[in-house]
Amino acid sequence: MDLGHLIVMGAMFWWFNGRMEKKFDKIDVRFEKMEARFDKMDQRMDRIESHVNNIDKRLFVVEAILQMKGCCAITDDKQLKKAE
């Protein structure tokens, strides 16, 4: 191999390495965007979960109050017979 071949091979390697760096940078940007979207989605899911838990607690309280006062149709034997 002579000096010309080594220079051409070095130039090709340098050009290839530069192109690969640019492509990896673009991929890194895409991953960062996706990570930001997943973070937003996690925040939304946390808020939805807290709302569902709040609704569940309220429903439990309403159910308990109805059973304590005897207003629940299921606890009333007359209503149960009508339902059957």
pLDDT tens for each residue of 2-56: 898 999 999 999 999 999 999 999 999 999 999 999 999 999 999 999 999 999 9
What pLDDT score does 66 carry? 79
What pLDDT score does 80 carry? 54
What pLDDT score does 77 carry? 58
SS3 label, residue 75: coil
Which amino acid makes up residue 28? D
As a whole number of angstroms, the distance between CA 31 and CA 23 comes to 13
The CA R_g of the chain, rounded to the nearest whole Å, is 34
As a whole number of angstroms, the distance between CA 66 and CA 69 comes to 5
Res. 71: pLDDT tops 80: no
What pLDDT score does 63 carry? 84
As a whole number of angstroms, the distance between CA 42 and CA 37 comes to 9
With 0.75 as the threshold, say if the pTM is over it. Answer: no
